[in-house]
Chain A
Amino acid sequence: MPNMSLTKTPMPEQDPKVRARNFEEVTLGYTPEMAMEEASRCLNCKNMPCVSGCPVGVPIPQFIKKLTEGDTEGAYEVITSANGLPAVCGRVCPQERQCESKCVRGIKGDPVGIGRLERFTADTHRKSGKTAVTKPAPNGHKVAVIGGGPSGLTCAGDLARLGYEVTIFEALHAAGGVLMYGIPEFRLPKQIVQQEIENLKALGVNIMTNMVIGKILSIDELMEQGYEAVFVGSGAGLPRFMGIEGESLVGVCSANEYLTRINLMKGYREGYDTPVLQSKAVAVVGGGNVAMDAARSALRMGAEHVYIIYRRGMDEMPARKEEIHHAKEEGVEFLNLNNPVKLLGDENKRVRAALLQKMELGEPDESGRRSPVPVEGSEYELPVDTVIIAIGTSPNPLIRTTTEGLEANKRGCLVVNEDMLTTRDGVYAGGDAVTGAATVILAMGAGKAAAKSIDAALQQK
Chain B
Amino acid sequence: MFRIVSKSVLNPSVVRMEIKAPFTAAKALPGQFVIFRIDEQGERVPLTIADYDREKGTITLIFQIVGASTIRLSKLEVGDRLQDLAGPLGMPTQIPEGAKRVCVIGGGVGCAIAYPQAKKLFHDGIEVDVIAGFRNKDIVILEEEFRANSSNLFICTDDGSYGRKGFVTDMLKERIESGVQYDCVIAIGPIPMMKFVSKLTKEYGIKTIVSLNPVMVDGTGMCGGCRVTVGGKIRYACVEGPDFDGHEVDFDELMYRNGVFREREADCRMIAQADSKEGK
Contact = CB atoms under 8 A, between A and B. Distances in A.
Chains A and B are bound partners: yes
Interface string B217-257: 11111111101010000100001000000000000010011
Contacts of B47: none
A36 B44 CA distance: 46
A281 B219 CA distance: 28
B162 interface: no
Interface stretch (A256-264, A325-333, A452-460): A256-264
Given A216-B24, A250-B260, A348-B256, A271 B220 contact: no
Interface string A323-364: 000000000000000000000000011000000000000000
Closest 4 CB pairs of A and B: A257-B223, A210-B86, A237-B222, A254-B224
Given A209-B84, A215-B87, A254 B223 contact: yes
A210 B88 contact: no
B191 interface: no
Interface stretch (B35-43, B57-65, B97-105, B136-144): B35-43
A254 B217 CA distance: 12
Interface in B1-56: 23-24, 27, 37, 41-44
B187 interface: no
Contact of B217 (A209, A241, A257): A257
B222 A250 contact: no
A279 interface: no
B161 interface: no
B224 to A, nearest CB: 4
Contacts of A277: 260
A406 to B, nearest CB: 17
A243 B24 CA distance: 35
B59 to A, nearest CB: 12
Interface string A238-257: 11010100011011011011
Interface in A201-224: 209-212, 215-217
Contact of A273 (B41, B88, B227, B257): B41
Contact of B23 (A172, A216, A254): A216
A193 B180 CA distance: 61
Secondary structure of the B contact surface, majority rule: mixed
A211 B26 CA distance: 13
A248 B218 contact: no
A253 B220 contact: no
In this complex, which of B83, B220, B264 has the most chain A Cβ atoms within 10 angstroms of its Cβ? B220
Contacts of B44: 173, 265, 274
Interface of B: 23-24, 27, 37, 41-44, 68-69, 83-89, 217-225, 227, 229, 234, 239, 253, 256-257, 259-261, 264-265, 268
A237 B83 contact: no
A396 B239 CA distance: 10
A273 B256 contact: no
Contacts of A215: 27, 87-89
A137 interface: no
A396 B229 contact: no
Nearest to B85: A210
Contacts of B225: 253-254, 257
Contacts of A273: 41-43, 68-69, 268
Contacts of B27: 215-216
A210 B223 contact: no
A273 B269 CA distance: 12
B43 A274 contact: yes
If over half of A's interface residues share one DSSP class (helix, strand or loop), that class is named, otherwise mixed; here it is loop
Nearest to A173: B84
B221 A250 contact: no
- How big is chain A's contact interface, by range? 35 or more
Contact of B218 (A209, A217, A260, A272): A260
Contact of B256 (A210, A250, A256, A265): A250
Which of B37, B43, B217, B253 has the largest number of chain A CB atoms within 10 A? B217
Contacts of B85: 210
Interface in A285-308: none
Contacts of A237: 220-222
A216 B217 contact: no
B23 A261 contact: no
A275 interface: yes
A216 B87 contact: yes
B88 A216 contact: yes
B248 to A, nearest CB: 15
A40 B253 CA distance: 61
Contacts of B68: 273
B256 to A, nearest CB: 4
A236 to B, nearest CB: 10
A396 B217 CA distance: 16
A5 B179 CA distance: 91
A171, A215, A266, A349 interface centre (most CB from chain B within 10 Å): A215
Given A238-B221, A273-B42, 5 more contacts: A172-B220, A239-B222, A248-B253, A254-B225, A398-B239
29 contacts: A171-B218, A173-B44, A173-B83, A173-B84, A209-B84, A212-B219, A215-B27, A215-B87, A215-B89, A216-B23, A216-B27, A216-B86, A216-B87, A217-B23, A239-B223, A241-B224, A247-B234, A251-B260, A256-B223, A257-B217, A257-B223, A257-B224, A260-B217, A265-B217, A273-B41, A273-B69, A273-B268, A274-B44, A396-B221
Contact of B265 (A211, A217, A247, A275): A275
A262 to B, nearest CB: 11
B41 A271 contact: yes
A397 B222 CA distance: 11
Interface in A412-428: none
A322 B85 CA distance: 38
B238 to A, nearest CB: 10
A396 B222 CA distance: 8
A66 to B, nearest CB: 40
A238 B253 contact: no
A277 B223 CA distance: 14
A237 B219 CA distance: 12
B218 A250 contact: no
A285 B73 CA distance: 37
A55 to B, nearest CB: 25
A437 B89 CA distance: 25
Contacts of A275: 43, 261, 264-265
A349 B264 CA distance: 17
A344 to B, nearest CB: 15
Nearest to A267: B43
Contacts of B220: 171-172, 212, 237, 396, 398
